[in-house]
Chain A
Amino acid sequence: MRKKSMILALISLLALSLLFVGCGGEDDSTATTAGSDEVIKIGFLGATTGGHADFGIKTLEGMKMAAEDLNKEGVLGKKVVIVEEDHASKQSEAANVVQKLIHRENVKAIIGDPTTGITKLAAPIAEDNKVVLMSAGAVGPNVVNTEDGQLREYVYRNTLLDAVAAPAVVKFLKEEEGWKKVALITSMNNDYSVGLSKIFKEALQNEGIEIVAEESIQDGDQNFAAQVTSFKSKKPDGIVFTGYYTEGGLFMKEVRKQGLDINMVGGDGLLGSTLWELGGEAVNGSMVYCGFMADPTMAEGKTKDFIDRYSKEHNGELPNMFVAQGYDAVMMIADAMKAAGSDDPTKFKEEIKKLENWQGVSGTITIRDNHEPLKSPVYLLEVVKDEEGQHFKVKAVIPVKG
């Protein structure tokens, strides 16, 4: 009796897997009839649903714009096709998507993921299968290299790294704003925040700015009275806040409530309208740095054309950083392919390594010897309130030198 049930379970399992393989077969035929020779497929790895959907959707918009531009002339006489898959912001699904893009769709390169975690998950898969992975959003450590420092041959990114931006911003704050003492606030359950605090700490020490208080919060916290009270007496000139906008907005509210007239500075985790939706008047003067900010009055050349075109297509809405980086990522891949005269990842990856002072819509990018991008400039934004209501305004454009 027991044996029979075992056999039954086995049969049902086998039947299921057959069903699965069978259905997959159909997919396969449609994929191959599209002809992988006349087109160059570039995969999109990101979420269009779930928690990180906003990043993914914007990246995809930029990628599609780039493909449109490229297809006016074609790349190596071929058409560029963007293959999109949604992993719903889940890690296990992201691994499936990467495998699918590589093995079912035969993409030459993958753009994504906008988050560090999923890029780290995709990196070894891309590396093993010799497909280029270009992240248009990952800023955390150990993406283009493994944990033990070995460089990956197929994984790159075109983002402004915090390790590049934070020192430039700290220098600016010291020289232009006269900051001498700061309070450093970290959200302990946020990988981005923990990493960024480490970088800021080093930059602050190098510039000789004293950290008078280090406070920890958690993503999801609502009340920051204890933290603010504890550094209030130390009279810092400013606050370095490395978390996200939700907590950032509420945190500044508490700072003002306790009568402190100082501003905070943070990374692009603070970049969102939620900052003033939750923080109200309290966040006026708060500073955020990022790799790209569309400012039609200041932009010129390629960047201006890009901003104008996007806002025309999107009812006046300006492109954000993810759109620009998604656009640049596809363009970088295309330029590398043209330079190599081949869409074979083993060949054009060599050309990505050689990109120097490459002019994109989001800035100038150089891929350094350690495969990390050096991106210039850093945009330092400030929350201002004027007749249009509260919004981010470019406070300074800080060039970065290698």
Chain B
Amino acid sequence: MTGMSSFLESVLDPYYIQVLILLGIYIIAALGLNLITGVTGMFSFGHAAYFAVGAYGAAILTVKYGVPFSAALITGGVLAALAGVVIGFPALRLTGDYLGIVTLGFGEIIRVIFLNLKITGGAMGLAGIARDTSIAIVYILVLVTIYVMYTLQNSRFGRALVAIREDDIAAESMGINISAYKIKAFAIGCFFAGIAGGLYAHLLQYINPNDFGFAKSFEFLCFVVLGGLGSIPGVILGTAVLTLAPEFLRSLSDYRMLIYGALMMAMMIFRPNGLLGGVDLRRLIFKNKYEKQAGRGTAAGG
């Protein structure tokens, strides 16, 4: 793994490495959110909070307790999943907008807790984190995440989630335990947010609660919505566009956020389902094989 990293670091300059690592981290977090929002249809406005749980969890373990990076990363993910379950139990009885508002509230609560704890460094932030995140580790984890997400979505579990998204009453009447499935999906999504958070902390080497506010949750949601709810390649594409666009447009300085905003608006007008929402790449590319089914189309977008 280190060999691969040093190879990549010799070809690419550290600026690209930095941006690409950040992109990889965001992809992992966005795929987690995609399972919650895209596949299961639960609106979560608090994804940055689980990202923060992972970031703080992993960073505190490595900085204060000398835990190895890999173990800290996984613990961070598990902590985020636990936070997801704790919040999920009361919150997931709600649906739609109500759930969105509750997750928004819980997200803020988690951020404020970090702001007031001593071990997190409070408002001063947590510094002195080692830069353990390398491009190879991140992209191996991206591949693992993609694999897990595909496997999940195409399993009995994943189809149950889609059923819940499409019609929860019908799903329940088919014998799906809605609450259990929702909480499981929520926990898995949060786990990946936590993993991404741990990587983020060990990339930036300094974390501060203000970085994990509503704006970041909203950013994650944009990645997923812009790319196409429920579509894994879509989410990757959406994340890539929204992470890289501000970097490309950096030379335009003051106009860059304007263009970014216009880009988002244009996307929502011309492709309201997201870039790849409702597009089945397999079907598009292996057309012949699927010709018979082509008329059916997939339902996506929730």
Contacts and interface: CB of A to CB of B under 8 A. Distances in A.
A212 interface: no
B123 A92 contact: no
Interface in A147-192: 147-148, 188-192
A124 B154 contact: no
Interface string B181-206: 00000000000000000001001111
A355 interface: no
Given A120-B125, A189-B115, A12 B203 contact: no
A1 B4 CA distance: 29
Interface residues of A, number: 53
B14 A102 contact: yes
Contact of B151 (A2, A9, A90, A193): A2
A13 B233 CA distance: 9
Interface string B201-238: 00111111011000000000000000000001100110
A103 B14 contact: yes
A124 B240 contact: no
Given A6-B150, A8-B282, A120-B127, A103 B204 contact: no
A311 interface: no
Given A8-B233, A100-B15, A147-B127, A92 B253 contact: no
A341 interface: no
B146 A86 contact: no
Given A23-B248, A103-B14, A2 B154 contact: yes
A92 B211 contact: yes
A195 interface: yes
A129 to B, nearest CB: 8
- Tell me the dominant secondary structure on chain A's binding face: helix
Nearest to B131: A124
Contacts, number: 132
Contacts of A191: 122-125, 208
B204 A121 contact: yes
Interface string B1-24: 000000000001111111110100
Contacts of A8: 233, 281-282, 285
A96 B247 contact: yes
Determine which residue in B122, B131, B142, B200 has the highest number of CB atoms from chain A within 10 A of its CB, and name it. Answer: B122
A24 interface: yes
B82 interface: no
B257 interface: yes
Contact of A9 (B236, B244, B254, B285): B236
A269 interface: no
Contacts of A90: 211
Contacts of B177: none
B123 A194 contact: yes
B250 A12 contact: no
24 contacts: A5-B232, A6-B147, A8-B285, A12-B233, A12-B236, A21-B16, A24-B16, A48-B253, A84-B253, A86-B250, A86-B254, A91-B207, A91-B211, A92-B22, A96-B247, A99-B15, A99-B18, A104-B13, A117-B125, A146-B128, A188-B122, A189-B115, A189-B123, A194-B123
* 4 A-B pairs with the lowest CB-CB distances in the bound complex, closest first: A191-B123, A147-B128, A99-B15, A99-B18
